[in-house]
A and B are shown apart, each in its own frame.
Chain A
Amino acid sequence: MKEILTLFFTFLKIGAFTFGGGYAMIPLIQHEMVEKKKWITNEEMMDIIAIAESTPGVLAVNSATFVGYKIRKFWGSFFATLGVILPSMIIITIIAIFFEDFLQYEYVIYAFRGIRACVAALIFHAALRIAKHFPKTAFSYILIAVALVASIILQIKTTYIIIFGLVIGIVSQMIILKIKEKKSTKEEKL
């Protein structure tokens, strides 16, 4: 019980004080879980990050779920996850209540015209960041082009394009493996 409460409040703190989410949270999680509480080892932490990166969802939530499970099974993961999302929910809801009125002021509208341009730049920068995490092959560049054409010209639903990406990633590698196998068996026969 005490451990679950500590988990909840630790992740509440992590959710409340990290801006930018994801990677900004890693040092904090590491500090709390590895150094202070000694609940997990540094290697386990590395595994958790790798798994969180390879599964759907956001890093902060995925690592909260995983760490929680390691320490106190289902309820551990439940309260760790709840803790990490609760501050956002409360803060954002309060902002959302006042935001509409806030947007009535002339100068706020001007400010947000500037801000929207900045957000576009941040979004583009995020694309470059993701691009660091896959092999720079011709195939990858073709996939980028396919996604671009499919979304802005053909206007295909985004979810279908993403599912296509998951499937084509696996299928293309299987075909490459098959071809390699055939080649090696042919060489053996010769």
Chain B
Amino acid sequence: MILLELFYVFFFIGLLTIGGGYAMIPMIKDEVVTRGWMTMEELLNFFAIAESTPGPFAVNTATMVGFSQAGIVGAIVATLSVVLPSFIIILIIAKYITNFLKYKQVKWALDGVKPIVVGLIVGVVLNLIANDVLGLTTVLDLFNKSLVIETIDYMSLIIMIAMFLLKMKFKKLSPIFMIIISAVLGIIIYGFIL
């Protein structure tokens, strides 16, 4: 049953999202794309919306994926499931573990998991480049499929690099502003130039 599936998928995502909203991207991609709920392309559209609307990124993404699978009820189930683990954990800490920050094991676990999350996110980005720029399904296809030079989307790569450099230069630049610029670039490049 889809609601039950939404519940446990998002419960585990909520339980293992460590390091902020973006840390859930590799997991969301893993669960949602392999289950055939949506394609990587659709998911990226969703991330763009989640980033340009108010509220936490993780909550917005959960609501959207839930809605796409089971309407309003799906949206409610996915959203509540993604916040439930941290809700329970914070309640336990607030009530029983007042010296939580003093446990060195917490820091150890975080120091282990954060590099892992960084590696996972970089993996997602590499797959995105393979997908959007090179027209392959995953990075692995580089080894067993030959590239079709004509279908390589250089423009997409240029926008990616330009936006990244822009964000590095202006740290405070709002993501919404960047999304609007790249939307305009997309229309100009794909609609008029190519």
Contact = CB atoms under 8 A, between A and B. Distances in A.
Interface of A: 15-22, 25, 47, 50-52, 54-62, 65-66, 69-70, 74, 77, 81, 84-85, 87-89, 91-93, 95-97, 99, 103, 106-107, 110-127, 129-131, 133-135, 140-141, 143-148, 151-153, 155, 157-159, 161-170, 172-174
Contacts, number: 374
Contact of A58 (B21, B93, B178, B187): B21
A131 B118 contact: yes
B141 to A, nearest CB: 11
A6 B52 CA distance: 27
B156 A117 contact: yes
B71 to A, nearest CB: 9
B48 A112 contact: yes
* Residue with the greatest number of chain B CB neighbours at <10 A, chosen from A61, A151, A158: A158
Contacts of A117: 132, 156-157, 159-160, 163, 182, 186
A57 B79 contact: no
Contacts of A81: 83, 87
A50 B99 CA distance: 12
Closest 5 A/B residue pairs (Cβ): A169-B112, A114-B186, A57-B86, A147-B119, A88-B55
Given A126-B121, A127-B118, A133-B114, 15 more contacts: A19-B52, A21-B55, A52-B90, A55-B90, A57-B58, A58-B17, A59-B56, A85-B56, A96-B68, A117-B157, A121-B159, A123-B124, A152-B140, A169-B108, A174-B108
Chief secondary structure at chain A's binding surface: helix
Interface of B: 12, 14-23, 25-27, 29-31, 41, 44-45, 47-60, 63-64, 67-68, 72, 75-76, 79, 83, 85-87, 89-91, 93-95, 100-101, 104-129, 132, 138-140, 156-157, 159-161, 163-164, 167-168, 174-176, 178-179, 181-187, 189-191
A49 to B, nearest CB: 11
Contacts of A54: 100-101, 106-107, 110
B108 A170 contact: yes
A61 B29 CA distance: 22
A81 B19 CA distance: 19
B16 A91 contact: no
A160 B110 CA distance: 15
